[in-house]
Amino acid sequence: MTDTIFMIHGMWGGPWCWEHYRRFFERAGYRCVVASLPYHGSPPTADPDPRLGSASLIDYVAALESELAQLDTRPILMGHSMGGLLGQMLAARGLCSALVLLTPAAPAGVVAVTPSVIRSFWSIQRSWGFWRKPARLGFRDAVYALLHRLPQGQQADAYERLVAESGRVIFEIGYWPLDSARASRVAASRVRCPVLVVGANADRIVPVSVAWRVARKYRHVASFMAFANHAHWILVEPGWEEVAEHVENWLARHCGSGRAASFSVDDVVGESSDGPAGTSYSRRCLRPRGGMCLHRD
C-alpha cells in the first residue's frame, strides 16, 4: 500500500484549499503532495495569467502527469471539485493506486445540469466569449455556489483567496456536448483502482445527485458516501474532520486489501427526500455486501 496522497484542487482554488486535509492525513502517517494547477499562482487581487483563459483540461492533466512522473510510487489521488474530474482522467491512465473524489465535477456523458448549477455559473455564462477568457466569481455568486455552509465570518476570508479560472475549462465541463475535443471524457472501463465518491446534500454546484451519477459511472470499483450537513466547500466547512475520518477509514480498508469495492444500485433499498432517488441513508456507514457506502450526519 502506498502512503502517498496526491491532492488536486478545484476551480478558483489553489494548494491552500487542502490545508486542513494535508495536516489531517500527515498526522495519520501519509505523505501528502499538493498540486498547483497551471496559471493558478497569481495573487487573488492581481490580473490572472493571460494564458489561463484558453487553458484546457488537457493542459491541466499534462502538467499533473509530469508531477506524478517525479514520484517514486503510484499515489492515492484525492481531488476536490474540478480536481476530482482531473483525478478521474488520470486514473483512466493508470496513474494511481486509489481515487478519492470529493464533490467531484462530472465527466462528459454524466448529466450534471440543475437549476442550482445554472445559477452558480450564470454570471460567467452570460458573458459572450467566456470560453476564451479567465473567469471570476463575484462574492455573492461564490457564497451561493461554494461558501454558503461556511460561517458568515469566514466567507469573506475564503472568497479573498479565490483566483480566476479558465473559461475554456468551464466550457469543456459544462458544455461537453459542444466540445469537439471531448476534453472531459473519461473511459470508465479504464478506471480499475478503488474509487470513493463523496457527495454533499447541500451542494449547489455539484449536487449530490450528480456525485451519485459519477459513482454509478464507476460502479465496478466505486463506493459512495453522502453527507447531509455539508456543501461544496467540504474541505473546510465545520465538521470537515468527520468527513476526513471516513475517507481515512475507507483508504485503510480498500488500499490495505488491494481489492476494489463493488458498486451496485441494487444493494441499496428505500428512498430519501434529501438524496438521490433510490438511495437510503442511515446514521452509520452502510456497506451492503462490500459495496456502496452511504452516510448521513
CA distance 211 to 181: 24
The answer as to whether 15 is a domain residue is yes
Q: Is 0.85 topped by the overall pTM?
A: yes
Residue 167: which domain range? 4-290
Higher pLDDT, 182 or 261: 182
- Can you tell me whether residue 100 is helix, strand or coil? strand
In eight-state DSSP terms, residue 205 is S
The tens digit of pLDDT for each residue in 135-145 reads 999 999 999 99
User: What percentage of the chain carries pLDDT values higher than 90?
Assistant: 80
Instruction: Determine, yes or no, domain membership for 230.
Output: yes
Residue 76 to residue 193: CA distance in whole angstroms: 10
> Is position 76 within any domain?
yes
By three-state DSSP, how is residue 131 classified? helix
| Domain assignment present for 77 | yes
Q: Is 46 exposed, middle or buried (0-12, 13-18, 19+ CB in 10 A)?
A: exposed
pLDDT digits (tens, 9 = 90+) for 38-62: 999 888 889 999 999 999 999 999 9
Is the predicted pLDDT of residue 266 greater than 80, yes or no?
no
Residue 16 lies in a domain: yes
Domain count, the chain: 1
106 domain-assigned? yes
Question: Would you say the C-alpha torsion 231, 236, 239, 245 has a positive or negative sign?
Answer: positive
16: domain CATH number is 3.40.50.1820
Kindly state whether residue 295 falls inside one of the protein's structural domains.
Answer: no
Q: Is residue 139 part of a domain?
A: yes
- Residue 93: pLDDT band (50, 70, 90) is very high
Give the separation between CA 172 and CA 60, rounded to whole angstroms. Answer: 12
